[in-house]
Structure 1
Amino acid sequence: MDNDPDLSLGLESIYYYKGQKFSGKMKSIHPNGTVRITSFLNGLEDGLTLDTYPNGQTSAEYFYQQGKRIGTHNGWYENGKARFQFSYKNDLADGDHWEWHEDGKVYRYARFKNGTNIGTKVWRKDGKIYSNYTYSPERLYGVVGSKLCFKLKGDETNQKTIINP
């Protein structure tokens, strides 16, 4: 991909080969040795994009339709344990998004609806919760290093602790 002078990237992330919108599979090799095979249709990512470690084991799989992320995207560590699982609908994050530490313990959980983050929790490697946030259109509620959001003493607004109002 990087060495082919006939391949070019145009406006709106459309790929061209010899001046025509590219359809087919593109192979790229990342500096860490990971190989990516990306499917294209009419210049846009379409279908499965697959990453593999140098040993041939699957590193990640992503799905696209007319250049937009769709479905469930999964990633794995070299030890075979899950690394991430994200879901998309029409190129927007939608549903549960999970990330794990290499030892298999949960690192991060986030919930999205139509591209908007509704809430996020992050855990330390020792399993203790590091942060717990709930989002609303106006504010971010939560605290770093706490297991639960809580009401501040004397706060008569009945709001939870606010970070970055």
Structure 2
Amino acid sequence: MKKNLIILGTALILTSCGSWNRIGDLTSISNRNVDDSKKYTLLTREVEAVAEADNDALEQAVDNLTKKYEGEFLRNVKIYVKSNGKQVKIIGDVWGTQNTLINVTTEANANITLNVGDSIVFNRKGKITEGKIIGINSNIIIVEYNGNKKIELKYDQVTKTNK
């Protein structure tokens, strides 16, 4: 009986050392000055970065995300710290300026350019749904539809319209 209690106690202590503790939510966070004259767009949603707490871990985690997704700042950020205090994890949406125009080449050799603000249609649950592009990166586009709903789609899942 004593042996089982000791094993159980040791297991609880070891598992608690590896858990993440949520320490806060922030509306936005940045390590750079935000320029009000620029128009920022959503580049990607719900991404995360982990940094070691050797030196300025929160700053390092923010830098890791903004550099990886070529953004300027994060919104809707959740901050976690390991219970042992040695790592920081952040999860949030990356915002930045849209620096690229995406050209999509089809088999018919037509060149289609997708930009932020373009109207598109896509198949959603078996129905054709209209939307507007609010973010573009090299792999996906972010589309807003039905008012304020957002979805990430691949380029071959959308059709540009003339609206």
- Tell me the TM-score normalized by structure 1: 0.23
Structure showing greater Rg: 2
- More strand by proportion, 1 or 2? 1
- More helix by proportion, 1 or 2? 2
- Tell me the TM-score normalized by structure 2: 0.23
